[in-house]
Structure 1
């Protein structure tokens, strides 16, 4: 067993936790980590590192809205060839993390290292786990060990999430090119949304922005309805986990959240998804065209929309009229409201005639690079 704290963070009370972000949204995820009270949040390429122990790993999976997955970094060592990798992998304290009766699989990546064959590296680590711990190896195992060999440094992490964290466990129905919940949450954050103001999405699709906003306002934990890979680890405490899920005050939002779409199927889909998420009481979905959009009664808030764009539906010429109608309606009727528009094309954003600030860094959405265009409160 490796008990050197320098190479085996599992021997310490705290270790590095890597929270994976959608590339381009690292700084927004870092802001979320700060808001959630995680220790030493640092944005890095592909995510955010925080410090903590296993309870923080569980809480990260439960509470992060913008994270894709959570990796617990359990060991790190130098390895210059496969025999050395094999030897040092056997010294990792696998029994502190993995159960001998739960299948495991290993994924490896190599970059700028003398070990360059990722498949061979994964095989060596799998064999080490199998022979030292006795855990079965399976290509379909939910528990995944990730080994990254970068500049001859091998970092061993366990993927504690399992399925991607955008799968909250509520959304059964989706439309074409759905916005992932994780991305929607960070776009809402980048628009300054905290849960205290109404939200309107006039092209709501399957309701992601509206439902996510309502959950934020109600302080509902995003991971409350699903299971995670860490529940199959040796150090999992089921009773502590149940207490964590039940902790924290939930309060009904003081405002409502509104979605509309010209497609009746999208409206029905959104209502079903809101019901499953437990936010139907605070959301409203209606079928109508952009030209019929009016602000709800009450204070101004945020209009956020992910309209069709050229790369998503082919010919973009008809879209200029759609974006123009959106901008015209908002400028005429939504004085005092802020606007966020997600699109891949500056010319489409310009067609709205809305007073956008500079767009955010591009983010990959369904293989298309999109940016968020934001306004201050409209005149």
Structure 2
């Protein structure tokens, strides 16, 4: 088993956004960061686990591997689970939820394996087992190797803790942050979203610019682990990234309810003085005063037959407005259909990788500065 100052930390990525998460983890100084299936693996002690939850914008979860052993039948799993040093990690009074998966192993029944771990925890440590517990212990059995991990995040990390109002088909904050990164955004230029919904792109861009840590207002599952040190955590949470020069961020939408939601979310996130939201249609869109920057948008995709023809007209109008009024701005469009992206007639660069957005396959289409 790994020493607690050299844990294997797994940063869960949105499928298709592993590369920008790896770039972010490397930039933030996480040791030995490597892309593997489903995310990024790095190494560090418990404070690095807390820092990953607090600081990384693109991770959906932070899992920590706490040990592994071989087992080829349930009795062997049971015996070894009872000898496992659970008390090094868990507090006996804190309820846990156990989840198990099995692949290419002689222990093929994941439900039976889960029950053995639940019993071992309850009988050796006195741990209450609850399907509603905020703390999850994960068992993965692969090729007869049983590996235990702890989900240190609790609620998924896109739930920043300061977004109360959600519009239809929202973009998750973790995805928005990685798409901004893929567009070359580093916090020093204005960002405009002309179909902003509840304001995710605009608020995320403002937070990056202001150096506000994404996990600053929420709680995490690791706070109930034995390793947790509230003093170190308090110091870490008080820190922030150095802010970029003062920049403004803009959102608009033709839906008045969406604009009210965006304003409420910006207020809650502490970025209302750096964000401006207006209710108007694409045809009324004009570039804000000052420096050029990035237009980024997550327009409707159209799931029903007949939608695409109507949407092609919307995308076409959007492209015309950008080409005529937004010279020297860059553009990022997130959509599920290549023909809709190309309906803008914008000078698109090669499309980004396919990204899984709640079961819908989407991609980022970008431009260089418009001329």
TM-score interval (norm. to shorter)? over 0.9
Q: TM-score, normalised to structure 2's length?
A: 0.98
- Structure 1 runs of 4+ aligned residues shifted over 6 Å read none
Q: Give me the whole-angstrom Cα distance separating, in 2, the residues matched to 1:79 and 1:361.
A: 38
Decide whether aligned partners of structure 1 residues 335 and 36 sit closer, same or farther in structure 2, where only a CA change above 3 A counts.
same
Residues in 1 aligned to 2:306 and 2:30: alpha-carbon distance in whole angstroms: 43
More off after superposition, 92-101 vs 203-212 = 92-101
**Cα offset for 1:251?**
3.4
Q: Please give the root-mean-square deviation of Cα atoms over the aligned residues, in Å.
A: 1.3
Partner in structure 2 of residue 263 of structure 1: 255
- The one-character-per-residue Cα deviations of 1:255-284 (angstroms, maximum 9, x if unpaired) are 100000011111111000000000001000
- Aligned equivalent of 1:181, options 165, 168, 173: 173
Alignment match, 2:72: 80
1:114-133 aligned at under 5 Å gives the runs: 114-133=106-125
Structure 1 counterpart SS, 2:130: coil
Distance 1:313 1:218, change over 3 A: farther
Give the C-alpha shift of residue 311 in structure 1. Answer: 2.1
Q: Superposed, which structure 2 residues align to 1:80-159 within 5 Å? A: 80-159=72-151
Selected match of 2:370 from 351, 359, 378: 378
- Residue number in structure 2 paired with 1:310: 302
C-alpha separation in 2, matches of 1:17 and 1:173: 32
Question: Is the Cα–Cα contact under 8 Å of residues 104 and 137 in structure 1 kept in the other structure?
Answer: yes
After the TM superposition, which of the residue ranges 201-210 and 360-369 deviates more from structure 2? 360-369
Pairwise CA distance, 1:323:
0.1
Q: Residue 219 of structure 1 aligns with which residue?
A: 211
Measure how far apart 1:175 and its partner are: 1.1
Work out which of the residue numbers 332, 335, 349 in structure 2 matches 1:343: 335
1:248 Cα offset (Å):
3.3
Q: What TM-score do you get using the length of structure 1 for normalisation?
A: 0.96
Q: Deviations over 1:62-87 (max 9, x none)?
A: 01111111001000111111111112
Per the TM alignment, residue 313 of structure 1 is displaced from its structure 2 partner at its CA by 9.2
Query: 1:250 offset after TM fit, Å?
Result: 4.8
1:322 is matched with 314
**Aligned match of 2:345:** 353
Alignment correspondent of 1:32: 24
Residue 266 of structure 2 aligns with which residue?
274
**Separation in structure 2 between the aligned mates of residue 325 and residue 66 of structure 1, nearest angstrom:** 32
In 1, Cα distance between equivalents of 2:193 and 2:245 = 17
Counting matched residue pairs gives 371
Correspondence for 1:205:
197
Q: Unaligned regions of 5+ residues in structure 2, if any?
A: none
Structure 1 unmatched runs, 5+: 1-7
Cα pair 1:168 1:223 within 8 Å, conserved = yes
Aligned partners of 2:68 and 2:146 also within 8 Å: yes
CA positional deviation for 1:369: 0.5
Q: Please give the alpha-carbon distance, in whole angstroms, between the structure 1 residues aligned to 2:323 and 2:26.
A: 35
Change (3 A) 1:176 1:65: same
What is the CA-CA distance between 1:91 and the residue it aligns to? 2.4
Alignment partners' CA distance in 2, 1:152 and 1:135: 26
Tell me: CA distance 1:166–1:312, structure 2 relative to 1, closer, same or farther (3 Å).
farther
Partner Cα separation in structure 2 for residue 183 and residue 253 of structure 1: 24
2: CA distance between counterparts of 1:367 and 1:228?
A: 26
Q: What residue is the counterpart of 1:19 in the other structure?
A: 11
Q: Give 3-state SS (helix, strand or coil) of 2:29's partner.
A: coil
Q: Distance in 1 between matches of 2:181 and 2:298?
A: 15
Q: 1:177 to 1:351 in 2, by over 3 A?
A: same
Q: Distance in 2 between matches of 1:157 and 1:214?
A: 34
Residue of structure 2 equivalent to 1:55: 47
- The answer as to whether partners of 2:213 and 2:241 remain within 8 angstroms in 1 is no
Q: For 1:225-244, list aligned pairs within 5 A.
A: 225-244=217-236
| Mapped contact 1:199–1:257 kept (Cα < 8 A) | yes
Q: Secondary structure, in 3 states, of the residue corresponding to 2:348?
A: coil
Instruction: Describe the shift of the 1:313–1:206 C-alpha distance in structure 2 as closer, same or farther (beyond 3 A).
Output: farther
